[in-house]
Amino acid sequence: MRAAIDDLDELFLLCDADDRVILFNRRWEAAAPGATAVGQPFEDFLRKRVAGGHVPEAAGREQAWIEGRLAVRRAGNIVIERQIGDRWFLLKDHAVAGGGIATVGIEITERKRAEVAARENEARFRAFAETGSDWIWETDANDRYTWFGGAIERQVGRPASHYLGRTRGEVAAAAGMDLNAEPWKSHREAIARREPFRDMLQKRVTVNGVVWLNMSGVPRFDTAGNFLGYRAAVTNITALVQSEQRAQASNRLLSAAIENLNESIAVVDADDRIVVANRYFRELNGGTRLVEPGHLYEEHLRAGIPLGNYPEAAGREEEWLKERLERRRRGGTIEVRRQDGKWLLVTDQRLPDGGMISFALDITERKKAEEALKQSEARFRSLADLSSDWYWEQDAELRFISTSGQESGRGGITADDHTGKRRWELPGTEIESQSWDEHRAMLAARQPFRDLLLKRTAANGVIHYVSVAGEPMFHAQGAFSGYRGTARDVTERIAAEQLARAADERLRAAVENLGEMICLTDAEDRIVLANRLFL
């Protein structure tokens, strides 16, 4: 039995009624080398870990932390998370017969990484929504607005709460649009067919005046294919439209400890007969006495098939049993979904005496975290592809580490041209809206910025104008970690504005040099233009 525990892939420590160490396995020693010895009080182990700086949250309150940890330990059956080196473990103290305590540590590093990745991805999504000139909305299956993100209030002068709960048709009708006329007629037909739509142009009269909006969206479905609503990105293109208009553009203790663990453990001998099967193993595989010690492991598997314990075996029972036993003989780890919806990480590990230990870890929460991460990533990719911006991130040295989005190659240079460079090191890039020194001063002060206008001359000589917005990023401890934000190619808008200014200057020059007196007044009869001859 000791050999079986020593070969576990989980941390294991057993203490007697006086909370002194009786035994610990190799995995425990590897996680905390030199900190544990047989006969040592558990409190001494804690002091060594704290003194070695391995418990960051105890800094400055070492004794209070140790007393709190001991109190949790005495309470028993309380699960805590602990980082040991670069790995995370889920620790649980179990009271065992005789007054002893068994501490089991299950590695949850992948789950923690999935949680961190999900948080970082959500932070990227929020930054993308808030720093860009777009905004994003979602509707339910009845076409009612359920969520907004981004610059809607800044762009159209009304908060998201003004629209939430209302249908898109109600909002459009209230804005004076005829839903039976184009483009709404075709748009509603496309929505009824659950088709994506792109570049739907709308003119809106808002509290900020007339705005022009460009909208692209995709339908959303759940895993069963049921329609959930739409998700869309909206860009305020008023400036572009207006420019185009102007310019047209122990064995007993051990057994007791194992029995009361909330993880499934079964140990078999060299003949593959069950010698240890703890409570949780029996509960998971209930409905048959063949899970009890003395029975062949194959008997317990075979008996569980008609009980529905192994949903993946349905319709191919003998083939599944053969595959499962072969995989078990090879050893290794597999993920199994139970009939009750639980996910288990099942490990079959050969023991030195020829037997085998099977350990099943409940990874249901980790699977949920992975699914949440997949959905979050899909949401971010969908919005990045819909947006006319592209998204970028820089490290603490202000060097580009990533760019993404449908337009990441626009602006005269490619995504690869950015990697490893600072903004002022990008090829053919000049700053227009301020000086580089002023921009670097803002970055040194960790300030957000908007509407930074860059002029880029591509390798082929074509000039592009790019508008950039960004915000600083900080670690959970408050340390600066870089910048992230959005960028947009505004070459068309700048060209249209330049054409409009040129046309205005030509008109004024023509009026100035006419051989007749010219005077122009506004609605209040104030002179706004008078040529030389009139003066």
Residue 408, pLDDT above cutoff 60: no
Interior angle at CA 316, CA 313 and CA 320, nearest 5? 55
Q: What is the DSSP string of 203-257?
A: EEEETTEEEEEEEEEEEEE-TT--EEEEEEEEEE-HHHHHHHHHH---HHHHHHH
Give the pLDDT confidence of 262-301 residue by residue, as tens digits: 777 888 888 888 888 888 778 777 777 887 888 888 888 8
Q: How far apart are CA 260 and CA 486, in angstroms?
A: 54
SS3 346: strand
Give percent above pLDDT 70 in the chain: 91
Enumerate the β-bridge partners of residue 476. none
Helices 62-75 and 42-51 pack at an angle, to 10 degrees, of 140
Residue 478, pLDDT above cutoff 80: yes
Give the other-Cβ count within 10 Å of 170's Cβ: 15
Provide the sign of the torsion angle of the four alpha carbons 273, 278, 283, 284, taken in this order. negative
For range 418-428, the mean pLDDT: 90
SS3 304: helix
Better-scored residue on pLDDT, 78 or 535: 535
β strands within 72-133, DSSP E: 79-84, 87-95, 101-107
Give the pLDDT confidence of 362-375 residue by residue, as tens digits: 787 877 777 777 77
Q: How far apart are CA 334 and CA 358, in angstroms?
A: 11
The answer to whether the beta carbons of residues 14 and 250 sit under 8 Å apart is yes
**Distance (Å) of CA 475 to CA 56, 418, 442:** 16, 23, 19
For range 471-492, the mean pLDDT: 87
SS3 478: coil
Query: Backbone dihedral region of 98: left (phi > 0), alpha (psi from -120 to 50 degrees) or beta?
Result: left
When computed from its CA atoms, the radius of gyration of the chain, rounded to whole angstroms, is 34
Tokens 């390798």 locate to 459
Give, as one character, the DSSP assignment of residue 56. Answer: G
Q: How far apart are CA 453 and CA 489, in angstroms?
A: 10
Interior angle at CA 32, CA 28 and CA 38, nearest 5? 65
**268-273 LR contacts (CB < 8 Å, sep 24+):** 268/297, 268/355, 268/356, 268/357, 268/358, 269/353, 269/354, 269/355, 270/353, 270/354, 270/355, 271/296, 272/296, 272/297, 272/298, 272/356, 273/297
Give the pLDDT confidence of 316-350 residue by residue, as tens digits: 889 988 888 888 888 888 887 777 778 888 888 88
pLDDT at 40: 94
For range 381-395, the mean pLDDT: 69
pLDDT at 410: 58
Give the pLDDT confidence of 85-139 residue by residue, as tens digits: 677 888 888 888 888 888 888 888 888 888 877 777 666 666 655 555 578 889 9
